[in-house]
Amino acid sequence: MSHSISAFQAAYIGIEVLIALVSVPGNVLVIWAVKVNQALRDATFCFIVSLAVADVAVGALVIPLAILINIGPQTYFYTCLMVACPVLILTQSSILALLAIAVDRYLRVKIPLRYKTVVTPRRAAVAIAGCWILSLVVGLTPMFGWNNLSQVEMAWAANGSAGEPVIKCEFEKVISMEYMVYFNFFVWVLPPLLLMVLIYLEVFYLIRKQLNKKVSASSGDPQKYYGKELKIAKSLALILFLFALSWLPLHILNCITLFCPTCRTPTILTYIAIFLTHGNSAMNPIVYAFRIQKFRVTFLKIWNDHFRCQPEPPSDEDPPEEKKEARNS
C-alpha cells in the first residue's frame, strides 16, 4: 500500500512540476512582451501584467508549497497556515485583475471618446495596487483568527499533549471550510464572476449595436475600432471562462465538504480539481499567443531576438509574398 501511495505522490509531483515549468516561463514572457512593446502599454495590458505576476507566483511559490503539503511534513499550526495562505492571496488577485480588465473593456466601448481621460496610467496603477492590497486582506484573513486552531488545540489537549500543537500540514486541517465557502467563495469569488459575466454580455451588446449602426457608414474607422474591440473582448472573455472552469470545481467540492460532512469525495476528484486550479496559471499565455495578435507578434519577436540559434535572414532578401504574410500575421 505504501508503495502505491509513493507512486501516486510521484505522479502528482511530476504533474505539478510540469505545470510550473509551463506557467512560469509563459507568464514571464507575457510581462516581457508588455515591457518591450509600446502598443501593449494601455490599461488593459497593465491589468494583464498584474494577472501574469499572480500566475508566475502560482508556478514559483504556490506549486512548490502544494508539493510540500502533499508530502505532509509535521509543523506548528501557524507555520502550516502561512504555507496555505499564498494560494488564497493569489487567487483573489487574479479574480480582481479579471474584474478590472472587464470594467476597462466596458469603458472602452461605452465611452470611447473619453476613455483616455477617464482611465489614466495613474488611475490604472492605483487600481492594481488596490487589487493587491484587498487580495492580501482577504487571503490573510485566516491568519487573523478565522481558522481551525481551536479544533486542533482541543484534539491536541485530548491526546494529553502540551504546548503549541504540532500537526501534519494539510490545507483543510488549518483553513476553516466556513471561511472558504461563506467568505471566500460566496463573497469574493462567485459575485465577481457573475458580475464579470454581466459586464461582458453588456460589452458584446454595445459592440454589436455599434457595428450594426455603422455598417452602412462611409467611414471605416468606427467599424475598425469596434471590430478590434470585439476580437479582444472575445479573447478576454475566454480567459474568464477558463478561470471559472478551473476554479469552480474546487469550490464546489469545498461546499460539499461543508454542507455534507458525511459525504466522501473521491481523492482523485480532489486532485483533478487542484490540477485545474494550478493549470489555469499556464493557460493564459497560450490564449494570448493564439488570440491576440499584438502578443503573438511580440512573442515571436522576443523569440527571434533572444532565443533563435540562427539569426533571421535579412528582411530585404525575403520574397514579397513572405513580407506581406509577415505583416498580416
Query: Domain 7-306 adopts which CATH fold?
Result: Rhopdopsin 7-helix transmembrane proteins (1.20.1070)
Q: Which of the four pLDDT bands, split at 50, 70 and 90, describes residue 7?
A: confident
CB 99 within 8 A of CB 195: yes
Whether the pLDDT of residue 59 is over 60: the answer is: yes
Residues 6+ apart with CB under 8 A from 328: none
Q: How far apart are CA 240 and CA 201, in angstroms?
A: 12
What pLDDT is recorded for position 4? 46
3-state secondary structure of 272: helix
Look up cell 492580501; give the residue.
136
Q: How far apart are CA 124 and CA 319, in angstroms?
A: 43
Residues 6+ apart with CB under 8 A from 187: none
Beta strands in 143-207 (DSSP E): 166-168
The Cβ of residue 124 has, within 10 Å, a number of other Cβ atoms equal to 19
Selected residue with higher pLDDT from 166 and 214: 166
Summarised one tens digit per residue, pLDDT across range 155-165 is 998 888 888 89
Domain residue limits, the chain: 7-306
3-state secondary structure of 75: strand
Residues 6+ apart with CB under 8 A from 166: 74, 75, 76
Cell of residue 148, nine digits: 481551525
Task: Return phi, psi of residue 175, to 5°.
Answer: -90, 125
One-letter identity of residue 313: P
Whether the pLDDT of residue 315 is over 70: the answer is: no
> Looking at residues 95-99, what average pLDDT do you find?
96
Q: Which of the four pLDDT bands, split at 50, 70 and 90, describes residue 212?
A: confident
Cα-trace Rg, the chain? 23
Cell of residue 262, nine digits: 458525511
Kindly report the length of the chain.
329
> Looking at residues 287-310, what average pLDDT do you find?
90
> Looking at residues 68-77, what average pLDDT do you find?
90
Whether the pLDDT of residue 231 is over 80: the answer is: yes
Whether the pLDDT of residue 321 is over 90: the answer is: no
Least confident of 18-22, 120-124, 215-219, 290-294: 215-219
Q: How far apart are CA 14 and CA 268, in angstroms?
A: 16
C-alpha 136 chain-centroid distance:
15
Least confident of 71-75, 112-116, 222-226, 269-273: 222-226
- Give the chain's mean pLDDT: 89
